[in-house]
Amino acid sequence: MNNQDVILCQDLRNSLTEAVSLVKPDQVYILTDVTTHRLCLPLLAGIPVLAQSHDIVIAAGDENKNLDTLAEVWQALSEGGATRHSLLICLGGGMVTDLGGFAASTFKRGIAYINIPTTLLAMVDAAVGGKTAINFNGLKNEVGVFQPAFKVLLYSEFLRTLDTHNLLSGYAEMLKHGLISDSSTLNDLLAFNLDVVDYRLLQQLVAQSVQVKKGIVEQDPREQGLRKALNLGHTVGHAFESLALQQHRPVLHGYAIAWGLVCELYLSHVCCGFPRDVMRSVIHFIHQHYGPFAFTCDDYPQLYSFMTHDKKNQGGIINFTLLSDVGKLQLNQTASQPLIYEMLDFYRESMGI
């Protein structure tokens, strides 16, 4: 797999024109959801290389990141006469870049695609790294392929359009990147004022966060080893997401990952000696900004079941990425069912449920 070219744009129109010109497509399709079609697509109006482009608009929300929506995109490409030499531009959040990347990677056995993430979460996580997927059978990202975008264009002005919830959703992945990199980066993230956002400083933090992920992905594009570092918080976080979907109270991905970090930092402390004071600082930050995800002891078996379906598992054994300290990875860690239940007890106690 080729390394992914991630560009921090000062001028989105020029950067996109250059990227499309390099592909030299016979046709261009622009994938948006109903929200980004209304709010973001107008920024691309009047760009000459997009003059004959075709719009594909899908429903918004992670609950629509499914096989039916994927088929809609395939059908639109097919009916529009797209060929192997066509280009798909994915303009949106993580749902659009995940599903759009999968559609492009599989249509005609693969056409080029460009990601233009419009949310913080997509900028620092979903759009970067070459993972594409849809949800299937009630499970997050169950079906997908590794295939990097031709270009990822990060335009920081989109950040000014985000509400607090979507800003926080992306920030959780940045916290994860801080935890797996170094104490200085983590401390900068914990000190950032999310109540009065300094967008210039946020842009710098985003650039650092993307570099953390990009550096890991380039060393391990298909998650054979080091890339598993990026799964910190995700084994439990995906279980929270799946439970929330099952109970018809969906949550933003980043919120679920923040809550997953609480749990997996506890496991890191118990199993690997992760410092208690750092764990408490991160948990305090998460509790203060994200609040709790409420569940009861009766939900433990279902949460455990969701964890057993995680893609990182081998032989039915739940696999965790843990830390012995900030930046000190402990990959392929396991935990017994009693310890996982103890972890969920700790979560409910520390988050005030």
Mean pLDDT by 10 residues, the chain (353 residues): 75 96 98 96 95 97 94 98 98 96 98 97 89 90 93 92 94 98 97 94 93 90 86 96 92 95 98 98 98 97 93 82 97 95 98 94
230: burial class by Cβ within 10 Å (0-12, 13-18, 19+)? Answer: buried
Domain edge (last residue) among 120, 139, 161: 161
DSSP 10: S
User: 163: buried, middle or exposed (CB in 10 Å: 19+, 13-18, 0-12)?
Assistant: exposed
Please report, for the domain that includes residue 292, its CATH number: 1.20.1090.10
Sign of the C-alpha dihedral computed for residues 215, 219, 221 and 226 taken in this order: negative
Q: Which of 109, 132, 161 is the last residue of a domain?
A: 161
- Whether 100 is in a domain gets the answer yes
**Does residue 141 sit in the same domain as residue 252?**
no
Q: What is the pLDDT of residue 4?
A: 67
**CA 262 → CA 106, 179, 195, 280, 287, distances in Å?**
36, 12, 21, 9, 9
Examine the domain organization and report whether 11 and 128 are in the same domain. Answer: yes
Report how far residue 307's alpha carbon sits from residue 236's, in angstroms, rounded to the nearest whole number: 7
pLDDT at site 152: 95
Indicate whether 155 belongs to any domain. Answer: yes
Looking at residue 315, its pLDDT comes to 72
Q: Are residues 95 and 129 in the same domain?
A: yes
My answer on whether 339 and 312 are in the same domain is yes
Is 255 domain-assigned? yes
Tell me the whole-structure pTM to 2 decimals.
0.87
| Side chain identity at residue 55, one-letter code | D
Residue that finishes a domain, picked among 111, 142, 161: 161
CB 131 within 8 A of CB 125: no
Q: Do 25 and 13 have their domain in common?
A: yes
Do 10 and 141 lie in a common domain? yes
What range defines the domain where residue 197 resides? 164-350
The arrangement of strands across the sheet holding 54-58 comes to 6-9, 151-155, 112-117, 87-92, 28-33, 54-58
* Tally of domains within the chain: 2
Same domain, residue pair 288 and 337: yes
For residues 335 and 307, the answer to whether their CB atoms sit within 8 Å is no
> Looking at this protein, which amino acid is placed at residue 317?
I
User: Does 244 reside within a domain?
Assistant: yes
